[in-house]
Every structure is written in C-alpha cells, then in structure tokens.
C-alpha cells in the first residue's frame, strides 16, 4: 500500500501537479493561525510553479480582521492572474471586520481549487 501511494505521489510530482490545501478558519473572531499559515503555504507552492511576487499575508490582530490582510490575499490572486493569463479567479470580499465570513473563505478556497486545476500539466 505504501509503495502504491509513493508511486502515485511521485507520478503526480513528475507531471508537475501541485497540491493546494483547503484553508479553514477555526476562530469565531479574527483569523486563526492555521488559516493564515495555510494561505501562505499555498501561495508559496504557487510561487514555485508560476513566477511572480507573492506577499506573505499576516493578520496583526487576533480579535479583528485587518483590511490589509484580506487585501494581501486579493493582491496575491491578482498576481496569479497576471502570471497565468486566461485563468478565471473570483475577487473575494470579506464583509466583516471582526471575522472572516463564510463567503470570503469559500471564495479563497474556490480560487485555490481553480489554480490547482490550471497547474496540472498533462
């Protein structure tokens, strides 16, 4: 079983397939460290595949959502658009300053799914 999984993983790597994580915010208020880390890991993986300048996105408050944090994520998706013309990525908006809303998180994850599909090289 392990050999099969390792072979499958190596074959995906040789095809240039990039695995992007689905990011979850497990805090009612603010931004969880796990969500912040997930976002940055995904952009690091994207940066290795398609060149560009992707900023490290950090939320400075644990009780609020910084406008600049969500703006950083949006700017990084804009950079992906520039590096991968023809890709359809949504523009994500967060309606609350106290928490990441469901629609923002869903939009971010849909964008990562779209990027993952586009990065798969046959």
Residue 32 located in a structural domain: yes
C-alpha–C-alpha distance, residues 7 and 9, integer Å: 5
Give domain status of residue 54, yes or no.
yes
What are the pLDDT digits (tens) for 42-74? 999 999 988 888 999 999 987 899 999 999 999
Cα–Cα distances (Å) from 109 to 3, 6, 76, 82, in that order, read: 31, 26, 14, 19
Residue 5 lies inside a defined structural domain of this protein: no
Residue 9 lies in a domain: no
The percent of residues above 70 in pLDDT, for the chain, comes to 85
Whole-number Å distance between alpha carbons of 115 and 64: 28
* 3-class secondary structure, 30: strand
The residue whose two tokens read 């976002």 is: 39
Q: Which domain holds residue 74?
A: 18-119
Number of separate domains in the chain: 1
Q: What percent of the chain has pLDDT over 90?
A: 64
What SS3 class is residue 99?
strand
Domain annotation covers residue 11: no
* Residue 91 near residue 74, CB atoms below 8 Å: yes
């Amino acid at each position: 079983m392990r050999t099969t999984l390792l072979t499958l993983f190596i074959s995906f790597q040789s095809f240039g397939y990039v695995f992007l994580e689905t990011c979850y915010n497990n805090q009612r208020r603010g931004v969880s460290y796990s969500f912040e880390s997930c976002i940055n890991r995904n952009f690091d993986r994207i940066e290795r595949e398609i060149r560009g300048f992707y900023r490290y996105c950090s939320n400075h408050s644990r009780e609020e959502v910084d406008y600049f944090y969500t703006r950083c994520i949006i700017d990084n998706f804009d950079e992906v658009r520039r590096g991968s013309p023809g890709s359809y990525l949504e523009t994500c908006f967060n309606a609350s300053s106290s928490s990441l809303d469901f629609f923002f998180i869903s939009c971010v994850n849909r964008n990562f799914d779209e990027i993952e599909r586009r990065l798969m090289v046959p």
